[in-house]
């Protein structure tokens, strides 16, 4: 199945979240089948990430946005975080610190963009500055409304330097979200996560959807597309994200460096060194 074309928001496309399914339709007959597919994708991801890292020319930025409990942490733990940490770094963006607030809204994320050969994963991102900031009225509309174009130019800047950008919105239904909050009540080890305000999320749900829909329409670009991933079933969510990241890395087609060395010479160096070592060991045995 082509998960990319199924879930991509085309540039300029208007998306109504309420009309998009949160349950999977995918090609999977069962959860087990989807999990096996994801494992296979993760294997390929690891291989492609290795090539990207060794090639040292291109970069990948994966942005995760979603309501609480929709599974950003799960996607990182079960999919993206399984790539080799030496070339993949995860950045959770929380409420801005004092230093961060003393700068423009792109300052803190810019520092975390991936260098050549690297992958960055953003758990929340600069999109919060046109989402929570807009819904909670933290800055006036005259300020946040200019940010979409700033974001587009910022992402074009990264793309121009060789960074592919994938932006995932994990789309969960209010009912499923509520049940996930409820699970925290049932497991004592999760009690510390309980928060009464979670149960009032629905109040602002429509405003958040509207803010997301604007971000999708204004900021889904060829170089940095948005994807809306049905996320009520964790196994569908993981399968879709892994497939889309994998497809993107395949397209980027990272190459191992050309070999520019005389293999025969290396072989001779090996034989010589081995003989030396054996002589050394023999000498130690005699002494």
From residue 162 to residue 191, the character string flagging contacts with a second copy as x (rule: CB under 8 A) and all else as - is ------------xx--x--xx--x---x-x
From residue 191 to residue 220, the character string flagging contacts with a second copy as x (rule: CB under 8 A) and all else as - is xx-xxx--xx-x------------------
Of the candidates 102, 160, 265, 285, which one interacts with a second copy according to CB under 8 A?
Answer: 265
- Considering the complex, state which of residue 148 and residue 181 has its C-beta at the smaller distance from a second copy: 181
CA distances (Å), 28 to each of 1, 25, 240, in order?
10, 8, 11
Pure H helices in the chain: 3-7, 31-55, 72-78, 98-101, 107-110, 132-135, 141-144, 147-160, 174-186, 205-219, 234-252, 263-286
- Give the count of residues interacting with a second copy (CB under 8 A): 48
- Considering the complex, state which of residue 99 and residue 256 has its C-beta at the smaller distance from a second copy: 256
- Considering the complex, state which of residue 140 and residue 285 has its C-beta at the smaller distance from a second copy: 285
The least CB distance from residue 181 to a second copy, in Å, is 7
Q: Are 108 and 100 in contact (CB under 8 A)?
A: yes
Q: What are phi and psi of 163, to 5 degrees?
A: -105, 125
The least CB distance from residue 87 to a second copy, in Å, is 9
Range 13-52, binding a second copy (CB under 8 A): none
Using the 8-state DSSP alphabet, how is residue 61 labeled? E
Q: How far apart are CA 4 and CA 152, in angstroms?
A: 21
The least CB distance from residue 182 to a second copy, in Å, is 5
The least CB distance from residue 123 to a second copy, in Å, is 7
Is residue 283 close enough to count as binding a second copy by CB under 8 A? Answer: no
Of the candidates 85, 97, 142, 287, which one interacts with a second copy according to CB under 8 A?
Answer: 85
Is residue 270 close enough to count as binding a second copy by CB under 8 A? Answer: yes
Encode 225-276 in three state secondary structure. Answer: CEEEEECCCHHHHHHHHHHHHHHHHHHHCCCCCCCCCCHHHHHHHHHHHHHH
Q: How far apart are CA 260 and CA 55, in angstroms?
A: 15
Range 87-106, binding a second copy (CB under 8 A): 88-90, 92
Q: Are 206 and 265 in contact (CB under 8 A)?
A: no
Q: How far apart are CA 15 and CA 272, in angstroms?
A: 67
Bridge partners (DSSP) of residue 60 are 119, 164
Range 116-145, binding a second copy (CB under 8 A): 121, 123
**Binding range to a second copy, per CB under 8 A, among 62-70, 163-171, 224-232, 270-278:** 270-278
Q: How far apart are CA 275 and CA 281, in angstroms?
A: 10
With H, G, I as helix, E, B as strand and everything else as coil, classify residue 39: helix
The least CB distance from residue 121 to a second copy, in Å, is 7
Is residue 273 close enough to count as binding a second copy by CB under 8 A? Answer: yes
CA distances (Å), 229 to each of 76, 85, 233, 239, in order?
14, 25, 10, 10
The Cβ of residue 46 has, within 10 Å, a number of other Cβ atoms equal to: 13
- Considering the complex, state which of residue 25 and residue 270 has its C-beta at the smaller distance from a second copy: 270
**Which residues in this chain contact a second copy in the complex, by CB under 8 A?**
54, 73, 76-77, 80-81, 84-86, 88-90, 92, 121, 123, 174-175, 178, 181-182, 185, 189, 191-192, 194-196, 199-200, 202, 256-259, 261, 263, 265-267, 269-270, 272-274, 276-277, 280-281
């Amino acid at each position: 199945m082509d998960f990319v074309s199924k879930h991509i928001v085309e540039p300029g496309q208007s998306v109504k979240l309420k009309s998009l399914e949160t349950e999977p339709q995918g090609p999977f007959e069962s959860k087990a089948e989807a999990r096996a597919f994801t494992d296979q994708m993760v294997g390929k991801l690891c291989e492609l990430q290795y090539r990207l890292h060794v090639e040292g020319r291109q970069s990948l930025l994966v942005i995760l946005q979603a309501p609480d409990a929709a599974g950003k942490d799960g996607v990182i733990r079960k999919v993206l975080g399984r790539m080799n940490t030496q070339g993949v770094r995860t950045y959770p963006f929380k409420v801005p610190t004092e230093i961060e607030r003393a700068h423009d809204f792109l300052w803190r994320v810019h520092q975390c963009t991936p260098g050549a050969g690297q992958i960055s994963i953003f758990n929340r991102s600069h999109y919060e500055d046109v989402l929570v900031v807009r819904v909670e009225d933290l800055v006036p509309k005259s300020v946040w409304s200019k940010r979409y174009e700033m974001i587009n130019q910022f992402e074009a800047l990264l793309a121009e330097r060789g960074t592919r950008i994938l932006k995932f919105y994990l789309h969960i239904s209010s009912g499923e979200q509520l049940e996930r909050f409820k699970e925290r009540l049932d497991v004592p080890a999760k009690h510390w996560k309980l928060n009464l305000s979670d149960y009032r999320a629905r109040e602002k749900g429509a405003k958040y959807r509207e803010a997301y829909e604007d971000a999708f329409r204004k900021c889904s670009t060829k170089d940095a597309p948005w994807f809306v991933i049905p996320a009520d079933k964790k196994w569908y969510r993981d399968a879709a994200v892994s497939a889309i990241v994998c497809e993107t890395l395949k397209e980027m087609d990272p190459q191992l460096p050309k070999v520019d060395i005389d293999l025969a010479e290396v072989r001779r160096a090996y034989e010589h060194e081995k003989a030396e070592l054996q002589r050394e060991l023999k000498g130690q045995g005699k002494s």
